[in-house]
Structure 1
Amino acid sequence: MFHHLILQCIDKFRGERTTSGIYNLLTGKRSSQTMQDAKGYQVDDFFGVMPGLRRKQLDAHIHPLIQEGLIVVNDQSFPTLTSSGKDALYSYKGPKIQYFKGMVWHEVIPSFWRRVYLLIQMMANRKAGIKHYYPIVDDYQAQRWARLVYHKFQHKLPRLIQSLYEEIHTLLENHSVIEANLYVHRLTGGKVIGLTVEQLKEMYGMNDVDVQLHLEHTHYYLFLEAKKDKESYPVLHLCTKGLDVTYLITQSARKTYQYFMQGLSIDEIVTLRKLKKSTIQDHIVEAALIIPDFSIASFLSDYDVDDINNMALAMDTQKLKQIHEAFNGKYNYFELRLALASGQHRIEGRNSTT
């Protein structure tokens, strides 16, 4: 599955981003470049879905793809798919990677699965009469949430236990068999001890990255289904409460955004914040990428935005240097980045209405 994800990323990047770009995307690096790449190349669903991925793990999986002739990497570390790589991508028969929504939800998914695991452990132990045990998740906030739920609903725990079992059973029945099995083997409660990633790796003859990716995909699946259907999945929906959409704008960028919304110019913000102009511009681009209704009218007209996006579309590239050269310097790099960021929201808006 991880190899398929890598091939998808390489295909989307069209030879215009390095393997570092893939790593930054999957681990959710909070930089305007990574976020712009995620939106521009339409891989924002994969943003931050593998926060624990190490660079050496990615490199270890890139190497066999090269050896098998599925990808080629040039001297500047830009990978592209070979014809065999495209065949492998399009003929993939494994679980579909369809539930990731990383740009929106990657920050809250860990809180969700920790809550679910703790709730399962707590309820199963209660049913088995086990009073003393170590929480499977070492996270104070998640433990506090689970205790509050326990005390609030302790008078109806048998009903909650049955409902949670039925909800998870129903969802996993409609999910990939391998991912359902991996998830169930991770659960701890009663006299059952969940298996570690290492144990699952040995049991299923998989590598550790694939095990983690399958589990993470299942976490997204359960979260999204429970989030949108409170009536069918009341207990799982309860586990999503308070976990709202993440607007991926960093604290520093948020402060710049607030000043900008108060009517300050970039130069005034530079003076006030004592930061480089390029840094403030990065913050403005970040806001344009993440906030759908963010207006860039003070920098570019609608005509300019369309002009730049049409050029990028015609050239089939997101490379700023190529677009800049095509316009003979008519627009600076900041304006190009802003227009491309704003253009993504227009594309998404059109797609949502078709």
Structure 2
Amino acid sequence: MVRYIDGLLLFVLNQMNGERTISGALHLLKGKKSSQTIQDAKLFRLSFLFGMQRTLDRSHIEESVSILYNNGFLERTSQDTYKLNEKGKVSLEGFLKQHPFPVYLNGWKYHQITEDFWARISLFMQTLSHSVNSNMNFYPVIRDELTQEWVRKHFPAKPEKRMKVARNLYKELTKVLGTLPEPHARIFVLRLSGFHRTGLTLQQSCSSLNISNEEGSMMFYGVIHACITHTRDDPKTYPVFSSFVENKRLPVPLTASTRTTYSLLQKGMTFQQIMEIRKLKKSTIEDHVVEIAINVADFSIDAFVSKESQKDILKASNETNSQRLKTIRDHLNDKYGYFEIRLTLCKEGV
């Protein structure tokens, strides 16, 4: 039986199929917002794990790889690059049966609003709990001034309104938690503070449930993402939750620089014009276009890669069973450039 972090790493390395180093796995789990990591998340179907292990560092990954390698689960393909062997795949299968990933977990989709949602709901519930018990003398669990200002702005002014909101919030929360495994619901509830109740830290909650911090983090984020998903799918059923997600539409998760490039593309500017205006290299603009293709559903790549070329590239990826750009380019006898291949694979989510 492997530790949770080891099983998680087995999953990520298996998805990457020996085509990325362990640094790629670390950057993805920590949520590094670089073009390469964002593209890897899409290419290897790992977007849901983006940023879900933010406290990991290089030493954790190296220790895990060492354990897995020494126990015969991995084979080294090159420096810092590993693939699962048959023993590793059997172990991974067992791990996933014992520790299925939270159904609603979606790190990349919700990474921009996850922390805000948690900060708002935790402070709002703490304040509401003290208010309905006629005791406003408490130490706020969230010290962030923007969150405190948000709670002050949205907090009901009249006592009878507070009671109604309290009942609705309890109803909404129990409705979502009722759809989730009991340990997942429990770790979320353990972290909530209220009247005569101090919420636990994530580490304390994990210790209470006798699970690792890595698994507890996944469970906890899974609950937050479940709340957000249900709210966005059915806002009328979750009116209080809806107020915690201030923007009804999720912002397109583009990095700031890519957002500027996207704005210029929407104005009909060419690669060359954008390079001159922004004083950036062509490769940087290409990275931006790939990021846009990943995150903007209705963004067409036909202007950059013809439909026929896209078909050729996707066929080559299937024939080689690879997302490695060089492998596909070699298979196609250098017919297409790396940008065309990368853009096609990322848009299609091969």
The residue identity in structure 2 corresponding to 1:314 is E
**Cα separation, partners in 2 of 1:59 and 1:146, compared to 1, 3 Å:** farther
**Cα separation, partners in 2 of 1:297 and 1:327, compared to 1, 3 Å:** same
**Cα separation, partners in 2 of 1:45 and 1:342, compared to 1, 3 Å:** same
Q: Could you say which residue in structure 1 is the equivalent of 2:200?
A: 195
Partners of 1:108 and 1:243 within 8 A in 2 = no
Partners of 1:45 and 1:101 within 8 A in 2 = yes
Superposed CA deviations along residues 20-50 of structure 1, whole A, max 9, x for unmatched, are: 1111212222222222211111222222333
Alignment of 1:1-354 (within 5 A): 1-91=4-94, 92-151=97-156, 154-242=159-247, 244-344=249-349
User: What secondary structure, in the 3-state scheme, does the structure 1 residue paired with 2:250 have?
Assistant: coil
Which runs of 5 or more residues in structure 2 are unaligned?
Answer: none
Partners of 1:26 and 1:49 within 8 A in 2 = yes
Deviation of the 1:164 alpha carbon:
1.6
Distance 1:308 1:147 in 2: 54
Partners of 1:39 and 1:341 within 8 A in 2 = yes
Superposed CA deviations along residues 120-176 of structure 1, whole A, max 9, x for unmatched, are: 101111122221222101222222221112145654111211222232223223311
Q: Could you say which residue in structure 2 is the equivalent of 1:351?
A: none
The share of aligned pairs that are identical, in percent, is 30
Q: Could you say which residue in structure 2 is the equivalent of 1:352?
A: none
The residue identity in structure 2 corresponding to 1:48 is G
**Cα separation, partners in 2 of 1:329 and 1:154, compared to 1, 3 Å:** farther
Partners of 2:102 and 2:219 within 8 A in 1 = no
TM-score (norm 1): 0.89
Distance 1:129 1:64 in 2: 54
User: What secondary structure, in the 3-state scheme, does the structure 2 residue paired with 1:120 have?
Assistant: helix
Deviation of the 1:94 alpha carbon:
2.8
More deviation, 134-143/202-211:
202-211
Superposed CA deviations along residues 175-202 of structure 1, whole A, max 9, x for unmatched, are: 1122222111111110111112332243
Distance 2:38 2:182 in 1: 33
Cα RMSD over matched residues? 2.2
User: What secondary structure, in the 3-state scheme, does the structure 1 residue paired with 2:98 have?
Assistant: coil
Partners of 1:309 and 1:340 within 8 A in 2 = yes
Distance 2:68 2:188 in 1: 28
